[in-house]
Amino acid sequence: MDINSKCFSDSSDNIKGFIDETTLRRCRRLRLIGIAVSILILWNGVCDFIYAYSPKLSGLEYFSPAVWDTIRTAGHRPHWMVMMAQTAGWLYPFYALSYYHWWVGMRRAGFWLAHVPCGLLAYALLMIGGIQHAGWAFLSVLAQAKAVVGCTDEAFYAMANRFLLEHFVMGDLTAVLAFNVGAIWHAVGILSGRTVYPRWFVVLSPFGVLTITMGFGACLPAPFAGFVIALFGTWFMLVPCLASTVWLWHRACVN
């Protein structure tokens, strides 16, 4: 009887040790993902600044046709700098890993409130990286060429600009849809109260950060508005990633 009890106790200890080691590895993995992805997202901020920042635009002007002049000319920045801005698009598959982080904290809410919204947001980032962020530079190609060699056929120039924009919008359509639907759905998942995160954490969710960024940025004058609105995609990824990393730092080991 004593021998059996001892064997059972040893076996339980081994199992417990295995579980503890596995959980510890999970915590370390989540921390590494959160920190590494957050650092990589900082480069996206630099590239967003190159693409869309203008010291002349106020917050409300970023929501007007005036912003198109900045986008189509890339703020009159040199060609090499616009090419450099495209490089953040290479990193979006890594940025999408931030939603694995969120999924770990939300998965007990179930398929519809965790898997689906996190999947939509991950899909949106993967599409945005290739279609939108890397492709943003193409919107300024004609203006860059015109600045170098000039253009005497304004009708051709205008039509080519229109076609470029239409192709960009068409390619980006599903990314924008998944981006918006996923952000709202993700917020609903948090508000359900069935995740590791408290309901107030919706403020730090992608939807909460996007709403605050746009609202706050719209109130700012030039040249400060651009630091908020032109970089909205960076804040949309960075703040939620850091928030989830901090919240799960120890909680992932016990949930």
Residue range(s) defining the domain that contains residue 79: 12-251
Q: How far apart are CA 27 and CA 35, in angstroms?
A: 12
Among 6-10, 148-152, 156-160, 217-221, the least confident range: 6-10
Per the structure, the count of domains in the chain is: 1
Average pLDDT, the chain: 90
- Does 210 fall in a domain? yes
Mean pLDDT of 23-36: 89
- Domain for residue 101, yes or no? yes
Closest C-alpha among 178, 237, 181, 185 to residue 48 = 237
For 85, list phi and psi in degrees, rounded to 5.
-65, -25
Above 70 in pLDDT, residue 3?
no
pLDDT average, residue stretch 140-154: 90
* Contact predicate 95/37, CB 8 Å: yes
Is residue 175 one of the residues assigned to a domain?
A: yes
Average pLDDT rounded to a whole number, residues 4-8: 45
Q: Establish if 2 belongs to a structural domain.
A: no
The answer to whether residue 87 is domain-embedded is yes
> For 226-248, how does the pLDDT look when each residue is reduced to its tens digit (9 = 90+)?
999 999 999 999 999 999 999 99
Residue 190 lies in a domain: yes
- pLDDT band at residue 19 using 50, 70 and 90 as cut-offs: low
Decide if 215 is inside a domain: yes
Q: pLDDT exceeding 70 applies to what percent of the chain?
A: 91
Angle between helices 232-251 and 98-106 (to 10 degrees): 50
Q: Return the pLDDT at 253.
A: 61
Say how far apart CA 100 and CA 241 lie, in whole Å: 10
When pLDDT is averaged across residues 82-89 and rounded to a whole number, the result is 95
- H helix and E strand count, the chain: 11, 0
- For the entire predicted model, the pTM comes to 0.88
Residue 40 to residue 237: CA distance in whole angstroms:
11
pLDDT higher for 253 or 113? 113
At 196, the amino acid letter reads V
- What single-letter DSSP state applies at residue 1? -
If you average pLDDT over residues 129-139, what whole number do you get?
88
Nearest-angstrom CA–CA distance, 192 and 113:
8
Residue 18, pLDDT score: 40
Residue 210 tokens read as 């996007």
- Average pLDDT (24-30) is 85
pLDDT number for residue 201: 98
Tokens of 34: 């959160």
- pLDDT at residue number 13: 39
d(CA 181, CA 210): 13
In a domain, 6, yes or no: no
Tokens of 87: 């490089």
Dist CA 157 CA 147 (whole Å): 12
* pLDDT value at residue 255: 55
Query: What is residue 15's predicted lDDT score, i.e. its pLDDT?
Result: 38
**Residue matched to tokens 């015109």:** 146
> Taking a C-beta distance cutoff of 8 angstroms, is the pair 129, 95 a contact?
yes
